Amino acid sequence: MCYIYLILSLHRDVSHPKCVQRRANIQNGIRLQGTNLTAVRNQLISVLNVSDLSADHITIFPRSMHTADGEHEVFALCMRYLVRLRSVRRAYVFKGQCLPVLYGAFALTMAVPSLAHAQSFKDLAQGHPVYEAAEYLKSKGIISGYSDGTFKPDKGVVRAEAIKIIVAPLIDAASIAQLTSSPFTDVKEGDWFLGYVEAARQNGIVDGPPKKTAFNGSNPVLKAEFIKMLQQAHNAKPVETLSEIQLPIAPDVAKADDWFYPYMRYAIASSMTMIGADGMLRPDRALTRGDCALILHRYLMYKEGRRTQALLSEAESEIIIILGALEKNDIVTAEYASARGLLAARGAHLSKPEEPIVQGALKTAEAFRSLVRAYRAGLNKQYDEVTKLAGDAWNLASRAKELAPNLAAISDQVQKISKGMADSARTLMQTPQ
């Protein structure tokens, strides 16, 4: 019997209106079983409800690698077998020329075991998006839920509550109790959150006077605020880390001089957050308890070196977005995705620099970044730059194959695209304008 737990990017057209729903359904996990691989293939086609997908497009092969990551956020996770979509030839137009693209799944995945927990909260059953995060944080004594046995994942969080969630695990209660006054004008003696706020101020987690005179503890905590405070509390050095990357990463996180940019950049690299279905990062979104639990859990897992697979999967997802965007001649979306894919791969590399699959994935992400830059250069009629960048992509793909031979398929795709771009650019250079 073959059991497969699957989260797989199968959409050929990532902009299709049904794509988001299909992907969301897939990410909830699908359990397939069959007496042979053909039966599993056929069931996969049926469950995914993809009318133009046939058994010829699916390959099932024995697992050859695994990691100690305690996560199951992967694009192909199974107990005995990995599944991937065979390459499907597509094309996109580059300045009037048709260039080859092999569009399918990418072997940037490592199969990992799933961790099981007993249910602790009445409103967080297994399968709920916040379930694993809440169970982990409870096991560490970071959260306890409400007296009625609920977690209330959709309840909003104010800044005072957020600072307690962040500070309480790091500073013992006796030290917090000794803090009885604060220079913030709106934090008064006797306020339940005074000690947490003052500990945060003294440790550089939040700014105090003269830069900030009020804490605004009753205001909803915003995503970028929570991420910044959490990173500061753990001495992540988000401003310095990956500071050489100053690229727009989403329509709402596009300016490197915005105060929240370095924190959102590091949040992607440490798998704390990713884009939504609308392509936005929403740094100004008010967070719920569930949101805070997910962000905190992901970051703590990253610190333990247990988010590598999640980052590789995110890098793969961004590659799919890149190809879909270029197929539509949407260079801006491709540029955002290439920057995020690079950050995800860099984050994985920071965590596990010696893993061959991570090294290869980083080279692959760099190769796609070069391809996107080459595409932009082509639109600007900088054909010499196109050939240079396409050559860079080719060489990076070649290096990826050397580091991780199981990335040969995606590396071959990159090299075919690179050759098509370079050949097209040379033709255009010789064509009278």
d(CA 189, CA 49): 61
Q: Are strands 88-94 and 30-34 parallel, antiparallel or unpaired?
A: unpaired
| Choice among 24-33, 46-55, 338-347 with the minimum mean pLDDT | 24-33
| Choice among 205-209, 230-234, 320-324, 366-370 with the minimum mean pLDDT | 320-324
Mean pLDDT of the chain: 79
Q: Is the pLDDT of residue 234 over 90?
A: yes
The whole model's pTM is what? 0.77
Angle between helices 194-202 and 159-167 (to 10 degrees): 60
CA neighbor of 335 nearest in space, from 311, 368, 363, 361: 368
Terminal CA-CA length for the chain: 63
Q: What is the pLDDT of residue 46?
A: 57
CB 69 within 8 A of CB 83: no
Q: What are the angstrom distances between the C-alpha of 35 and each of 1, 39, 40, 41?
A: 5, 7, 8, 11
- The string of pLDDT tens digits covering residues 405-424 is 888 888 998 999 999 999 99
Q: What are the angstrom distances between the C-alpha of 273 and each of 19, 70, 222, 315, 423?
A: 20, 18, 13, 13, 38
Supply φ then ψ for residue 178, to 5 degrees: -75, -15
- The string of pLDDT tens digits covering residues 245-294 is 999 999 999 999 999 999 999 999 999 999 988 899 999 999 999 999 99
CB 33 within 8 A of CB 2: yes
CB 33 within 8 A of CB 3: yes
- The string of pLDDT tens digits covering residues 341-365 is 999 999 999 999 999 999 999 999 9
CB atoms within 10 A of CB 36: 11
Q: What is the pLDDT of residue 12?
A: 36
- The string of pLDDT tens digits covering residues 71-90 is 322 222 222 233 333 333 33
Q: Is the pLDDT of residue 59 over 50?
A: no
